[in-house]
Structure 1
Amino acid sequence: MVLPEVFSACLRAHPDRLAVSDGVTELTYSDLDVGSAALADRLRDCGRARAGARIGIYASNSPDYVLWYVAALRAGFVPFLIDAALGASELARISYDCSLNFLAYEGKSGKRVPGGGEIRLSELVTDTDPVHELLPGTEVCRFTSGSTGKPNCVEFSGAAVANAATNWVAGTGLTAEDRTLCFAGLSNGLAFNTSLLATFLAGASLHFARGLPTASAVLRRLDETGATRLVGFPALYDSLVRRGIRKLDVQLAISSGAPLSAHTKAALPGISDYYGIAETGPLTFARVPVDGLGKPLPGVRLKVGEDGVSVHSESMASRYLNAPGLFESRVDADGFYRTGDEGHLRDGELVLTGRSARTINIGGRKVDPVEVSDVLLTAADVRAAVVFEEADTNGDPVIVAVVAGESTVDLRAHCRARLPGYKVPARVHLVPEIPANSIGKPAMEAVRALAALSSGVVDGPA
């Protein structure tokens, strides 16, 4: 296995340096080395422990999260990093779909593990063979955001994970003197690729905050840590702008996962909005962004053509564990992954212009759901709108809209006045709020469930 050796070498190279902190608990590299080795021994002694045992880590960011992740690798387990924002039903689905043997999770009580956290371990009873077998080289599994349906479990080799971190260090100039303050969940690629192994490869320090990432909490932790790098989703920077912040005292502010709004870009310039996707790792970077998303990172090749943006990276995933054949269907004959994004290269920098994969095909006519949702958002008292495709009783595709607000306007009539008939939603569901996942994108599985349960459905021809 690759990652246990990589982590061991990192931890022993900088024994006295601060490795990770959340303002309450601090672990040096030596603390993390000794603590993870002891916890790895404890994991090996568990009843169903075996090489390649699957352990879900379902917790918020903390020094103990890092401890459990490193310990799982050193025990020979395969960690599955699960978004702490997921609910019980989604967790149960993942546990079954991915045949987890153990679950490390946060609890309000119970025996405290090394480092002072409250992460607890449950042994999951599995009396059957795994639903899906892992590839032999898989060392870590993460999940897509689920913004287009259920989260797909993405398998990564140890080499791919190490390459992502190595190339991020080289491509962004991360050094031992850097202090990264990370507000993105470690289960997400934004944090996983920029802040976890990359920090330790450089001998730098990684910092978290307890509680909600409010603007006040961000500013307080920036001051406490003297952070040189800030990592967060666009919503974090939006909150800072609403607070009136127009400058950040950091060398590098990093965002990804969703586009930054034009307002936030203008009000808080200098944010590095890099391009990366769950299946391929970080792809581009610009320290001082202009209009694009930067040039390819080391180990990354881009191909832009009629099929949109395709990428090949040294940090590519191997496949989806719980969606056989889907990942492979998106890889072309040259090994490039088709992202579903459209764009072009300008002076070597990637500029995205839209999504090719999001279109809805209605009778041979292409409909961009963003165009439809933008029209819905112009209606009175509409706060948010999500547009997607469903099948009608005959199995034909129709446009469905889920709208958050108290609008009393006839929303289909509102759309008919502004769009061609074939772009008007066949069904409109009015709900109090649009469910969102941990990075602020609509949680589509929950949105579809709301649509199935909600009242006030409007059906009929446009």
Structure 2
Amino acid sequence: MLTEIVTEHLRHHRDRVAVTDPTIDLTGSALLAERDAFATVLEGRVGLGDRPRVGLVAPNSAAYVTAYLAVLRVGGVPFLIDSAFTAGELTTIADDCSLDLLIHDERDLSALGGRRFEGTGAQHMTALHVTALPVDGRRYELRPDTEVCRFTSGSTGKPNCIEFTGDAVYRAAANWAAGTGLDAEDRTACFAALSNGLAFNTSLLATFLTGASLHLSRGLPTAGRVHRDLTRAQATRLVGFPALYESVVRRGTPALADVRVAVSSGAPLREETKRAFADLTGITISNYYGIAETGPLTFTTDPARIDGLGVPLPGVDLRAGVDGEPRPITVRSESMGSCYLNAPGVFEDRIDAEGLYVTGDEGFLRDGALVLTGRSNRMINVGGRKVDPVEVAEALRTARGVRDVVVFEATDQHGDPLVAAAVVSDEPLEITALRAHCAARLAAFKVPGRIHLLDRIPANSIGKPSLTALRRL
């Protein structure tokens, strides 16, 4: 289904620029030609069988887009993998999901035991041993209607592989375009990895459906790089994680004249960052709320609003609390995944009796817009009492000099849960003073038993705080 949709729309907009990176610009017709050439390589040189499972693990580039479309063209199922993963993590995924081929950058993947081929452009290919099986001795079977697989961190101790139908991928793109006003005159500069839902749902197929153009960057999205790439592309849309906007604010990048919409997601965007970015550039950042398993859910149609995460997009049935009273957020969307390939039954267990996905978030609707208040499944159990990390973090943020905070569950010397906090400050702080500050605002059992003073919060590849790294402290 996706190949037919992409082909139709790229042909319709054949003379318009479809995708660019710092080395190449491809029109719709040129992208189709590149896709077909790569598909020929896949079919001939590698000799894949029916419905091959192909992992894509590389930074953003026009060649990445070409490879993704080529895998679909030959009837394969692309597995979009975070390019920050190590060879060890890739081995786990390849074995767990029984991948047949990896399309990747110049990294050495000889440890996986496959045969390496040259692809096209910057892409390389490693054909894997098809005998790879998960540890339980069986090969997980894809659903017949699955066309794309993506990964999310989960409670199973390994990346969960989400299966998506072609219709779900299409609906995510079409509903995003309709709900956000994306049109043929837009030029989207995307600084989020295409393997991540923020970019995949907002910037890939959605661009081709409307005849807009997608501009991909390379390297870390520093403020200087962001400004240069936006200027080069004359971008009207900016897509990135909160760290990008914080970098721009810190550097004081001048006004971005052509940008009309700036989208943030992946981690909470601080209100002070949003205000500072608006003061600096004249652009109000639009929040976007989505879950990997369900696709894009909300968007801030009124960017003048600082609070909230926007209203539900077309095709989204979202349930939350009302009148300031938070409750668990549940959702049904046209872009929802089908299941976890490598964790049978886990996805299905998160669907309630009404067929809605239980997100694990809590919040409420205010004037139709979603306000997120916390995570219902990340409560810290201290001696039988539940502690909300969001509440503790907000108390710490009111302390003088505190710039950033993450509150999380750790364990004491006896292995019992305790409240831990990582704090970044703009001036010297005393841990005893921070505890006293919390004690004046919170019940004693909510006061962090362990506080780490850091220069920065360690983050994962999409800008979220890395709880694994924090717990190692």
Name the CA distance, whole Å, in 2 between partners of 1:349 and 1:384: 26
Name the CA distance, whole Å, in 2 between partners of 1:183 and 1:119: 20
Which residue number in structure 2 is paired with residue 216 of structure 1?
Answer: 224
Deviates more, 1:62-71 or 1:124-133: 124-133
Following superposition of structure 1 onto structure 2, how do residues 244-255 of structure 1 map, counting pairs within 5 Å?
244-245=252-253, 247-249=255-257, 250-255=259-264
Name the CA distance, whole Å, in 1 between partners of 2:412 and 2:141: 35
Kept in 1: contact 2:435–2:447 (CA 8 A)? yes
Distance 1:49-1:431 versus aligned 2 partners, 3 A rule = farther
- Partner of 1:274: helix, strand, or coil? strand
Kept in 2: contact 1:14–1:29 (CA 8 A)? yes
Kept in 1: contact 2:458–2:469 (CA 8 A)? yes
Name the CA distance, whole Å, in 2 between partners of 1:60 and 1:148: 26
Equivalent of residue 193 in structure 1, options 201, 206, 210? 201
- Partner of 1:439: helix, strand, or coil? coil
Which residue number in structure 2 is paired with residue 257 of structure 1?
Answer: 266
Which residue number in structure 2 is paired with residue 353 of structure 1?
Answer: 373
Distance 1:145-1:383 versus aligned 2 partners, 3 A rule = farther
Name the CA distance, whole Å, in 2 between partners of 1:296 and 1:383: 31
| Contiguous gaps of at least 5 residues in structure 1 | 452-462
Name the CA distance, whole Å, in 1 between partners of 2:158 and 2:254: 37
Instruction: Give CA-to-partner distance per residue, 1:348-385, whole Å, 9 cap, x none.
Output: 22222222222112233111224445667789999866
* 2:369 matches 1:365: no
Letter in structure 1 aligned against 2:314: P
Which residue number in structure 2 is paired with residue 119 of structure 1?
Answer: 123
Following superposition of structure 1 onto structure 2, how do residues 117-266 of structure 1 map, counting pairs within 5 Å?
117-129=121-133, 131-144=139-152, 150-245=158-253, 247-249=255-257, 250-266=259-275
Kept in 1: contact 2:224–2:253 (CA 8 A)? no
Offset at 1:65?
A: 0.4
| Contiguous gaps of at least 5 residues in structure 2 | 109-115, 279-283
Which residue number in structure 2 is paired with residue 286 of structure 1?
Answer: 300
Deviates more, 1:84-93 or 1:372-381: 372-381
Which residue number in structure 2 is paired with residue 65 of structure 1?
Answer: 64
- Partner of 2:6: helix, strand, or coil? helix
Letter in structure 2 aligned against 1:355: R
Name the CA distance, whole Å, in 2 between partners of 1:76 and 1:228: 34
Distance 1:328-1:211 versus aligned 2 partners, 3 A rule = same
Which residue number in structure 1 is paired with residue 50 of structure 2?
Answer: 51
Name the CA distance, whole Å, in 2 between partners of 1:124 and 1:383: 46
Instruction: Give CA-to-partner distance per residue, 1:289-336, whole Å, 9 cap, x none.
Output: 212222211111111247421111100011222333222222111111
Which residue number in structure 2 is paired with residue 456 of structure 1?
Answer: none
RMSD: 3.2
* TM-score, reference length from structure 1: 0.86
Following superposition of structure 1 onto structure 2, how do residues 279-428 of structure 1 map, counting pairs within 5 Å?
279-289=293-303, 290=305, 291-305=307-321, 307-372=327-392, 386-389=406-409, 397-399=417-419, 411=431, 415=435, 418-419=438-439, 420-424=443-447
Kept in 2: contact 1:146–1:444 (CA 8 A)? no
Letter in structure 1 aligned against 2:230: L
- Partner of 2:5: helix, strand, or coil? helix
* 2:449 matches 1:441: no
Aligned length: 447
Kept in 1: contact 2:331–2:359 (CA 8 A)? yes
Instruction: Give CA-to-partner distance per residue, 1:51-71, whole Å, 9 cap, x none.
Output: 222111111110000000000
- Partner of 1:258: helix, strand, or coil? coil
Name the CA distance, whole Å, in 1 between partners of 2:393 and 2:156: 15
Offset at 1:159?
A: 0.7
Kept in 1: contact 2:95–2:133 (CA 8 A)? no
Following superposition of structure 1 onto structure 2, how do residues 12-51 of structure 1 map, counting pairs within 5 Å?
12-45=11-44, 49-51=48-50
Name the CA distance, whole Å, in 1 between partners of 2:367 and 2:437: 41
- Partner of 2:438: helix, strand, or coil? coil
Deviates more, 1:418-427 or 1:216-225: 418-427
Distance 1:149-1:378 versus aligned 2 partners, 3 A rule = farther
- Partner of 1:283: helix, strand, or coil? strand
Distance 1:444-1:100 versus aligned 2 partners, 3 A rule = farther
Which residue number in structure 1 is paired with residue 77 of structure 2?
Answer: 78
Name the CA distance, whole Å, in 2 between partners of 1:65 and 1:31: 14
Distance 1:191-1:329 versus aligned 2 partners, 3 A rule = same
Distance 1:230-1:49 versus aligned 2 partners, 3 A rule = same
Name the CA distance, whole Å, in 2 between partners of 1:391 and 1:324: 30
Distance 1:353-1:76 versus aligned 2 partners, 3 A rule = same
Name the CA distance, whole Å, in 2 between partners of 1:233 and 1:320: 25
* TM-score, reference length from structure 2: 0.84
